[in-house]
Structure 1
Amino acid sequence: MAMADVRAMGEPVRRWARTQKQEYTQGEARPLGADLGAMGVYLGLVGTAAAAIRATGRELPSRIPVGDAVLLTVGTFRLARRIAKDPVTAPVRAPFVRYQGTSGEAEVAEVVREHGGVKHAVGELLTCPFCMAQWVGTGFVLGYVTAPRATRLAALTMTMVAGSDVLQFVYDAIQNGALKGGERTAGA
């Protein structure tokens, strides 16, 4: 089959994609093709991991204990947020986003640098803790299947950090409340 024939076969798909992009985005620079590519990468990685797990003869757990599910869930929350919002992980996001300032305790606000295309899609993924949770959670589940003890330790670390975060906020609230209460008493 000649290359021209292959291109001709792909033209209806490209025409369909252009139409969808025009109708969906209504002129906004949205990275639909890059988002589709990210989904393909995700599916490819999960498929490859599943095939590798199957090739090793490992059995999937028939059930996951509630304690492990909670541990993995909280660990996923904390690690996804760490990747998406933490100043320390900014070097990973920097090629795709622009710093806008702070956005809460120990978090930064960033916006994508380029609109449309791969950098846009990657920038949105890396700055969205909800989006990152899908990838992190999948990593934890695959780790749980292949190396449950090590994965529990990694998730435990992130769960401990999340618990510490909560305690930091509680401590600050108590300090601020005590300070305000003390000022009222002194001024009464």
Structure 2
Amino acid sequence: MTDLKAKATRLRRAYAPHEHRPLGGYVLAMGAYAGATAMIAGLVRASRRSVPERPATVDVVLLSIATHKLSRLLSKDAVTSPLRAPFTRYARPVGSGEVMEEVRDSGSPTRHAVGELLSCPFCLAVWVATGFTGGLVLAPRLTRLVATALTAVAASDFLQMAYATAQQAAEGGEE
């Protein structure tokens, strides 16, 4: 075990000699993702549900927008910050109810990797999309219902931003 730790330390130092990169934490995160994916595949197999040869285009669009929204809600929304707080530290607001957070420097590669995952909507989207995709096979009606609600919220967000921009433009034209 000590030999394995020494090899991991050498690899980390060779990979990023001037910056701390939690490679061990990333390995654990990838393992957790692989485990979650295997669990979904096992549930699909045990349920004997058929996997579609090709998802419907409407489902791909619906899940894409829902994945975007849920990933942002989980990784950036001020209200969901208690979920990220053990792994991140508040930095500043960034508008539209979102916050910028920094990963906590705890010395734990796993905690660091989880902090990066939970504060990055792009990173989290892979997990969310995998969950939605599994849900589309295991519980398609419920998954579409949840995805529809998240898609409606995403559309509402864009309309709110468009309204605010139009309002600012109108107020700026009166001066």
The corresponding residue for 1:53 is 44
Per the alignment, residue 169 of structure 2 pairs with 177
Secondary structure of 1:88's aligned partner? coil
Contact in 2 for aligned 1:29/1:115 (Cα 8 Å): no
Bigger Cα Rg? 1
Q: Which residue of 2 aligns with 1:164?
A: 156
Map Cα deviations across residues 58-109 of structure 1 (whole Å, 9 max, x no partner): 1101121111110000000000001000001000001111111111321101
Kindly state the Cα deviation for residue 115 of structure 1 after the two structures are TM-superposed: 5.2
Mapped partners of 2:138, 2:27: distance in 1: 28
Q: In the alignment, which of 61, 64, 76 is matched to residue 73 of structure 1?
A: 64
In 1, distance between residues paired with 2:71 and 2:49? 27
Deviations 1:9-44 (A, max 9, x none): x83x44432221011121422111011001001101
**Greater shift in the superposed pair: 134-143 or 110-119:** 110-119
Mapped to 2, the partners of 1:100 and 1:60 lie a distance apart of 43
**Partner-residue secondary structure (3-state), 2:131:** helix
The count of corresponding residues between Structure 1 and Structure 2 is: 174
Aligned counterpart for 2:74 among listed residues 83, 90, 102: 83
Tell me the distance in 1 between the aligned counterparts of 2:79 and 2:6: 43
Partner of residue 124 from structure 1, selected from 81, 92, 116: 116
5+ long unaligned stretches in structure 1: 1-6, 184-188
Conserved? CA contact 1:125–1:132, under 8 Å: yes
Q: Which runs of 5+ in 2 are unaligned?
A: none
Alignment partner of 1:138 is 2:130: yes
Corresponding residue of 2:98: 107
The residue type equivalent to 2:100 in the other structure is A
Identity percentage of aligned residues:
47
2:94, 2:15 → 1: CA distance?
Answer: 30
In 1: Cα distance, 2:155 partner to 2:92 partner: 25
Distance in 2 separating the partners of 1:182 and 1:27: 53
Partner amino acid, structure 2, of 1:87? A
Which residue is equivalent to 1:63?
54
**What amino acid does structure 2 have at the position aligned with 1:150?**
L
Per the normalisation by structure 1, the TM-score is 0.88
Q: 2:14 aligns with which of 23, 28, 38?
A: 23
Note the alpha carbon deviations across 1:97-124, whole angstroms, 9 max, x for none: 1111111321101101125511111110
